């Protein structure tokens, strides 16, 4: 009997489902957009009910397009953004914002409403902060929970469960309250290496009731990613998804970490795979950079080390930026020529950034020379702070070298300069990791913003490291499907699924002396601008 596996990925803007065979080949995929609400005060919210509906529709369509029997679906896995979901003891949504609308029961990962709470926590001497690079982020869950308790006391009291979104999806599918080591360790301060919560931390920051309750509302059953949840799909969930009740469901992952699982185990042309020398770089709305090591390595300003939170039995060190693809989107819309460029893009049926990418490629067929299109423009694209290595949520973008030009070529210059800025931020992180003993020799890139050859080559040139691409259209979905394959017993371990279901395809190598020297000079400018921005901020 044939065995197929479904991976479900819930990103910031859409829910997607993909059907894979046991070799990791994609048969079909489908997606649905999901709603998002932005309000003043850095508030960003979503709806768990609407997301679940989008998941169900995506799964049904993907299976139909794959033209396979639902009885051949052997396993299912979820990944999602690290967003906070609040529901009542019965599972009803609970309001999390000033609107008071219970349908809006998710505080999205990019929501920075808890920046004050995060700063307050960081003034303390909490041992758990050692495992988040010394500084907790307002994107993480304990600052958000503290904000909720202080500002919406009734919602906090009414909550029966606080879930990370991936764990919510697993619960919705199976009724299991188990949480993934990935989610609670990376975003909730669970200490995976000693298998416990730090009750003193929660008491010290003002969330003592969570500890007093035995952590029942945030999870006291913590399992490895890919662990089978309960008895598989419930009758209700199976009906909604169009699948068979009892289908195994693997404990989930944060979306970027699913991208790491879907790419890091790829075999190269020699059939080799060394997870510990590779950096998984997931370039989407945000950017996540994940490195694995056999021992815990503490890097100031970089999240982790987290034990067994991505690759089993290895320590994860996680960097990145809160806005990456989103930063480029925002950057190009600021230019006077953006409206004309958007009209041209619409005429060709392309998003604006994809159209600019095509125009830049036409102007510089030798992709390594595309940096020359940036001219005098330099960009530090920290529109939503610096996640790592500076751990500064108050950092903001810097653009230097603009003239009075208002034409399309000057917009392309800004676009290329922005991409270089993303690459230099990654280079800065890699240098920080290297100084602390984490050596990376290959970047394995994935994510929607890393789909173009131009972007991949610029990443290789800006970091001066080869950039490899997995041989799959959907590496994040594949990582989620690997969870289902592991839960179904197709593979004994998640690491075995990683090496069996993925392969590398293309490798983009950095160019020689001329291009290398140009990027070296621009990288120095990037650092000077970054330093200047911090000095200005400290004096205002």
Reported as a single tens digit per residue, the pLDDT across 72-83 is 999 999 999 999
| Range in 52-61, 166-175, 285-294 with the lowest mean pLDDT | 285-294
Quote the pLDDT of residue 472: 86
Res. 347: pLDDT tops 60 = yes
Structure tokens at 74: 């052997």
Structure tokens at 150: 């202080």
Res. 21: pLDDT tops 60 = yes
Final residue before a domain boundary, out of 229, 253, 277: 253
Phi, psi dihedral angles at 376 (to 5 degrees): -90, 0
Identify whether the C-beta of residue 77 lies closer than 8 Å to the C-beta of residue 129. no
User: Does 165 lie in the same domain as 83?
Assistant: yes
Final residue before a domain boundary, out of 253, 285, 306: 253
Q: What is the mean pLDDT of residues 429-455?
A: 92
User: Does 425 lie in the same domain as 534?
Assistant: yes
Reported as a single tens digit per residue, the pLDDT across 118-158 is 999 999 999 999 999 899 999 999 999 999 999 999 999 99
User: Does 313 lie in the same domain as 246?
Assistant: no
Quote the pLDDT of residue 97: 96
Q: Tell me the pLDDT of the chain averaged across its residues.
A: 94
CA 93 centroid distance within chain:
24
Quote the pLDDT of residue 322: 86
User: Does 298 lie in the same domain as 248?
Assistant: no
In-domain check, residue 483 = no
Quote the pLDDT of residue 272: 55
**Band of pLDDT at residue 470, cut at 50, 70 and 90:** confident
User: Does 344 lie in the same domain as 201?
Assistant: no
> Tokens 């500002």 sit at which residue?
151
In-domain check, residue 455 = yes
User: Does 302 lie in the same domain as 242?
Assistant: no
In-domain check, residue 486 = no
Distance (Å, rounded) from C-alpha 458 to C-alpha 447? 15
Do the strands 73-80 and 4-10 form a parallel or antiparallel pair, or are they unpaired? parallel
In-domain check, residue 480 = no
In-domain check, residue 487 = no
Identify whether the C-beta of residue 5 lies closer than 8 Å to the C-beta of residue 481. yes
User: Does 448 lie in the same domain as 524?
Assistant: yes
Res. 63: pLDDT tops 80 = yes
User: Does 86 lie in the same domain as 9?
Assistant: yes
User: Does 205 lie in the same domain as 308?
Assistant: no
Integer Rg of the chain from CA = 22
Reported as a single tens digit per residue, the pLDDT across 486-495 is 999 999 999 9
In-domain check, residue 522 = yes
Q: What is the mean pLDDT of residues 419-434?
A: 96
The parent domain of residue 279 ranges over 267-470+510-540
In-domain check, residue 505 = no
User: Does 302 lie in the same domain as 172?
Assistant: no
In-domain check, residue 481 = no
The total number of structural domains that make up the chain: 2
Final residue before a domain boundary, out of 253, 280, 303: 253
Res. 2: pLDDT tops 80 = no
> Tokens 């307002």 sit at which residue?
138
User: Does 389 lie in the same domain as 275?
Assistant: yes
User: Does 242 lie in the same domain as 302?
Assistant: no
**Band of pLDDT at residue 481, cut at 50, 70 and 90:** very high
**Band of pLDDT at residue 205, cut at 50, 70 and 90:** very high
Quote the pLDDT of residue 473: 85
- The DSSP line for 312-366 is TTSEEEEEEES-SHHHHHHHHHTSTTHHHHHHHHHHTT--HHHHHHHHHHHH-SS
| CATH number of the domain encompassing residue 421 | 3.30.420.40
């Amino acid at each position: 009997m044939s065995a197929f596996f479904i991976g479900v990925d819930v990103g910031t803007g859409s829910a997607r489902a993909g059907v894979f065979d046991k070799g990791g080949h994609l048969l079909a995929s489908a997606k649905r957009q999901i709603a998002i609400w932005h309000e003043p005060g850095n508030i960003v919210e979503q709806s768990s009910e609407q997301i679940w509906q989008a998941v169900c529709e995506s799964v049904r369509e993907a299976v139909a397009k794959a033209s396979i029997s639902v009885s051949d679906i052997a396993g299912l896995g979820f990944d999602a953004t690290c967003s906070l979901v609040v529901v009542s003891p019965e599972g009803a949504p609970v309001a999390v914002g000033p609107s008071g609308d219970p349908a809006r029961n998710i505080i999205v990962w990019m929501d920075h409403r808890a920046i004050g709470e995060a700063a307050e926590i960081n003034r303390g001497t909490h041992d758990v902060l050692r495992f988040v690079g010394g500084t907790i982020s307002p994107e993480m869950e304990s600052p958000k929970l503290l904000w909720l308790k202080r500002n919406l006391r009734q919602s906090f009291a009414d909550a029966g469960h606080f879930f990370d979104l991936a764990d919510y999806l697993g619960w919705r599918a199976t009724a299991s309250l188990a949480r993934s080591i990935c989610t609670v360790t990376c975003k909730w301060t669970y200490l995976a290496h000693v298998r416990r919560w730090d009750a003193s931390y929660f008491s010290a920051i003002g969330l003592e009731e969570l500890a007093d309750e035995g952590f029942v509302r945030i999870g006291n059953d913590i399992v490895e990613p890919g662990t089978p949840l309960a008895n598989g799909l419930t009758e209700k969930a199976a009906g909604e998804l169009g699948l068979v009740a009892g289908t195994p469901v693997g404990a989930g992952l944060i979306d970027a970490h699913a991208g790491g699982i879907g790419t890091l185990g790829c075999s190269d042309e020699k059939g080799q795979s060394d997870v510990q020398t590779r950096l998984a770089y997931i370039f989407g709305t945000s950017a996540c950079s994940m490195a694995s090591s056999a021992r815990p390595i503490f890097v100031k300003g970089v999240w982790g080390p987290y034990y067994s939170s991505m690759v089993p039995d290895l320590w994860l060190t996680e960097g990145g930026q809160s806005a990456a693809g989103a930063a480029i989107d925002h950057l190009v819309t600021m230019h006077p020529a953006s409206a004309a460029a958007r009209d041209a893009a619409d005429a060709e049926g392309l998003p604006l950034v994809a159209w600019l990418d095509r125009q830049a490629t036409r102007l510089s067929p030798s992709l390594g020379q595309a940096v020359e299109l940036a001219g005098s423009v330099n960009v530090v694209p920290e529109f939503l702070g610096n996640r790592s290595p500076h751990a500064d949520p108050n950092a903001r973008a810097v653009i230097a070298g603009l003239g009075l030009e208002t034409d399309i070529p000057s917009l392309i210059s800004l676009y290329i300069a922005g991409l270089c800025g993303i690459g230099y931020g990654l280079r800065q992180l890699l240098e920080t990791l290297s100084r602390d003993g984490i050596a990376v020799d290959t970047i394995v890139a994935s994510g929607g913003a890393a789909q173009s050859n131009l972007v991949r080559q610029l990443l290789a040139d800006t970091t001066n490291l080869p950039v490899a691409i997995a041989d799959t259209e959907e590496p994040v979905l594949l990582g989620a499907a690997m969870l289902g394959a592991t839960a179904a017993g197709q593979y004994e371990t998640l690491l075995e699924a990683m090496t069996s279901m993925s392969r590398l395809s293309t490798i983009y190598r950095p160019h020689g002396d001329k291009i290398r020297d140009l990027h070296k000079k621009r990288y120095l400018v990037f650092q000077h601008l970054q330093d200047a921005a911090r000095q200005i901020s400290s004096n205002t």
